[in-house]
Amino acid sequence: MEYRRLGRTGVKVSTQCLGAMMFGTIGNADYDECERIVHRALEAGVNFIDTADIYSGGRSEEIVGRAIKGRRDDIVLATKFFNPMGEDRNMRGGSRRWIVRAVEDSLRRLGTDHIDLYQMHRHDWNVDLEETLGALDDLVRQGKVLYLGSSSFPADWIVEAQWAADRRNTERFVCEQPQYSIFARAIETDVLPAARRHGMGVIPWSPLAGGWLTGKYRRGEQAPAGSRFARGDRLGKDPSTPDRFDAVERLTEIADGAGLSLTHLALGFVTEHPAVTSAIIGPKTMEQLEDLLAAADVRLDAGVLDAIDEVVPPGTDMPGIDHMSGNPSLRPANRRR
């Protein structure tokens, strides 16, 4: 397992980050197996774990907290806030009021007195960014949080957050967590360069494009039982499916030529980018974890990367990719006089 520095901090993290989104009711409801997955990842050299308060309504954080008990000091622990955690309209977002409550809830579920990396899960279009940064800065000064990060921020928000922190003399975001994969390359145009210019680490989510880059979705075959496309035949109804099938077939040929599985090709692609610090892997089972861990040392040469560029050109996305920006500026009411 390789280790890289997280942005400009002095912290070194493994090039694979164990994502805990699948721990709990939305993925694996066997909490004991989830704990075993955490233990196995740590044994393999993973020292970076990422979760969020919203995952299975807080259950993911509880599972991670149980799993790391007695090993807390060996782990760089990351979680996130922003998404709704109740019916109350104020139990969400980037307001100071919510942040000071959300962090206490996460600390309790994780069973720890501090969070190494506290990330804003999405940018809040309705809250002054300086209010958010001011509240987060207080958490750092109180010792409840060590470092701050953002997730799925557009490039202009990444830059504005750096400027706002400089103006207010507050702690700044040290890393960004974007969607990035062979299928989702639009961030190569602006997000990744912005992160590099500001010395930020990058920890991409969904490097396997929601399972597409594992090869489990094939032309002429039913989606596997339990997969995210299995219910309601979403695979057949998605208009981007034919293009994705074509890409998977071409990428599989590239992987075969390189002596790799498609999964390992996809993970190697993400960690090969010089802006990337650590790729988030999100196994649901021990079998999946073992396969993902085997990709930790994969390196792709220029010929393989050039071949991938022929399938999905740099700076572009496959059809149907959603970067979760939710930009209200594009709504008709905000672009017509």
Q: Which residues are catalytic?
A: 55
Q: How remote is the C-alpha of 117 from its chain's centroid?
A: 13
Residue 186 contacts by C-beta under 8 Å, 6 or more apart in sequence?
315, 316, 317, 321, 323
What's the rounded Cα separation, in Å, for the pair 17 and 50?
Answer: 7
Q: Which amino acid is at 124?
A: D
What's the rounded Cα separation, in Å, for the pair 98 and 106?
Answer: 12
SS3 327: coil
What's the rounded Cα separation, in Å, for the pair 29 and 104?
Answer: 25
Residues paired with 80 in a beta bridge: 119
What's the rounded Cα separation, in Å, for the pair 297 and 274?
Answer: 15
Asked whether 264 and 294 are in contact (CB, 8 A), the reply is yes
Dihedrals phi, psi of 68, to nearest 5 degrees: -95, 5
What's the rounded Cα separation, in Å, for the pair 118 and 277?
Answer: 17
Number of residues that this document lists for the chain: 337
Asked whether 135 and 129 are in contact (CB, 8 A), the reply is no
Closest CA relative to residue 82, chosen from 98, 95, 93: 93
